[in-house]
Structure 1
């Protein structure tokens, strides 16, 4: 059954369906797609679906405490908005909208370098801390300018993503040729201008059925430049081939020293895209305070383990570590959040479910996403007989039991 409005959505999958109906495929596919055969993308979700919980009967939990401590921040809910690029294609000034909702729920907004809303506006929109995720687009000097700007805007932590040495191949979106559709016709030759018009004519059917989005998109006038990547001449980076930019600006362990110097010793650095205990240890040795176990939502390298399995196998190897552990990938419900926390992470990143809410209905849609997650988490906590996030983490394995079901035919269809 299709839902007809944000208010009717009972799951984040409902919001995803609304987003797909409101936003044209050439845009929504950027947020949906995974690398290669999308095995890891689907595995992220299935890893949670295949986890079995241990519900306790005859228990009554009157007072729930959903707060979690993360790097000096007290989050009112144990999740944060993980950095996602190009959110402004979903909704006008979407990064600032997301920051406002994050503040309303008492949690952190993570802002991507590849965003269309100025970081100062994003930080000002939230009543809670914000984190800035740094790509080295444009080189070291450009990155240092971005780091100093983030400090001045009040961002409290810096996220460094280490799994983007080259952009993963997301085949369906590549075949749509989104960069051809997004580029300006200014400066094109006559032949290229004809091709520019032809590309837009091809998009007419999907745009004609999504006029509200189209009107908002053109009124917003903010998606053709990445305004948080400023070159030496004060010009923002154009909306261009991100894969080439990432390949030219991949972070190495040697970069952490000058990044730390630019960011300052008093503010935390979080390394994102960690797959193994060895990389987590190297991050700690290089001065990071936290790591995010993440396979980039299955968007970078296919055939790597689901994020939940990375947490399950790698975190136990780091019992002596002082790192703060976070994770993202595959979170679609409040029950998923409880499962992740039971492995000991302090909080989880919300990416695609956040995009679903923004795309479905902007601020109202994202509030609905967070409400669904919060209600689902609280319900799961009550049914398993736990009253706080600290208790979930302390009980750990006791909250789960081995699944005796084989295969995945019993699982619901994969939606996103």
Structure 2
């Protein structure tokens, strides 16, 4: 039977004509359109000079460590349960004795105001608003006291690199304790700087060097340069000015003689919680647990130190089995989505940290961009938990995720 047709009436179109309220501010419009961390990365790359963007985006040597870490999260299968009441989900966790509203915190990052002028202040205030920890780097570009003042109700952690000048290092620790920082992250995987080839090729210096190449690269990015030139000159909160490359700075500062005995000495000086960042073997995790640290952070420094380093996500179940009852296990490197966070928690992590994901948001839109990063990850975590059939982080367990085999020892 032939379908009968009619001439449509004007009122038939009315239900179809629904227009969104226009967003007049371009920055807000860009952030609203960003649905994933990868979307934020795309915006960040468009708005940030190459040297600063590549410092964030790049890794060491051939960047295999970073690629493998991200691939590890892609190479998983989730196993959902059905017919569960998931109308309400609880994303909070207890980390180092206190509650975090989300199962991730903001990792320590250096040179942050170079990425975007709001820098560490955007990070710590966004973390405070979200109810998650924020970690300030030794190589941060905002003073310890200024972070504490900007986020007085936030949970602020301080990340320490041990310098050759031990007194100077411990002076930073004393400042952090006096400012109310409750956790010390000691990074142990930087005896020397990794071969960050993008930085070498870009002539990455601190502060940025104005060459013909950087000026040409900056022409389509006037907002970055306007913010950089009209705010406080870039300086490090914890060291003197430096005019060399990043690698030269790290090699000049960092102490390749640091041992487990030095870590014990630091532990005796610090009265808060102690986390060791950069753990990459079961053996070292066992030694640290016996020293009585509060948490170990499985990390290969975002792939920025030793290329072809162990993948933290692969190490996670092995370390969990050996020391999971004695010490908290945190994880970073390669996390680019809320699904990655959920997979890490199911695989055995007690907590996770985000670095690049946070910086992509910062470069894309300052404080609002960091808020957008947190919002995207929160939404993805909640959705993934609901689709898995769990209502709290505590319900996540190894049966929810399978790690597919791609790289394995011969």
Q: TM-score range by the shorter chain?
A: 0.7 to 0.9
Offset of residue 312 of structure 1: 2.8
Once the two structures are superposed, residues 196-252 of structure 1 have per-residue CA deviations (whole angstroms, 9 ceiling, x without a partner) of: xxx6122121111100000101112332x21223xxxxxx35364333135436632
Unpaired segments ≥5 residues, structure 2: 1-27
Offset of residue 144 of structure 1: 1.4
User: Which residue, 255, 259, 262 being the options, matches 2:269?
Assistant: 262
* 1:78 aligned residue: 103
Offset of residue 167 of structure 1: 0.8
* 1:412 aligned residue: none
Alignment: residue pair count: 376
Unpaired segments ≥5 residues, structure 1: 184-198, 230-235, 408-416
* 1:207 aligned residue: 218
1:301 is aligned to 2:306? yes
TM-score where L is the length of structure 2: 0.87
1:54 is aligned to 2:76? no
Please tell me whether the aligned partners of residues 206 and 242 of structure 2 are also in contact (alpha carbons under 8 angstroms).
no
The separation in 1 between residues aligned to 2:372 and 2:304, in whole angstroms, is 25
Q: CA RMSD in A?
A: 2.0
* 2:375 aligned residue: 371
* 1:35 aligned residue: 60
1:252 is aligned to 2:262? no
Provide closer, same or farther for how the CA distance between residues 274 and 246 of structure 1 changes in structure 2, counting only shifts above 3 A: farther
Offset of residue 403 of structure 1: 4.5
The separation in 1 between residues aligned to 2:206 and 2:265, in whole angstroms, is 36
Provide closer, same or farther for how the CA distance between residues 21 and 341 of structure 1 changes in structure 2, counting only shifts above 3 A: same
Offset of residue 254 of structure 1: 1.8
1:9 is aligned to 2:9? no
User: Which residue, 331, 342, 356 being the options, matches 2:360?
Assistant: 356
* 1:330 aligned residue: 334
Q: Bigger CA drift: 345-354 or 247-256?
A: 247-256
Please tell me whether the aligned partners of residues 161 and 254 of structure 2 are also in contact (alpha carbons under 8 angstroms).
no
Offset of residue 286 of structure 1: 2.8
User: Which residue, 256, 273, 281 being the options, matches 2:278?
Assistant: 273
Please tell me whether the aligned partners of residues 84 and 390 of structure 2 are also in contact (alpha carbons under 8 angstroms).
no
* 2:23 aligned residue: none
* 1:177 aligned residue: 203
1:117 is aligned to 2:122? no
The separation in 2 between residues aligned to 1:121 and 1:283, in whole angstroms, is 32
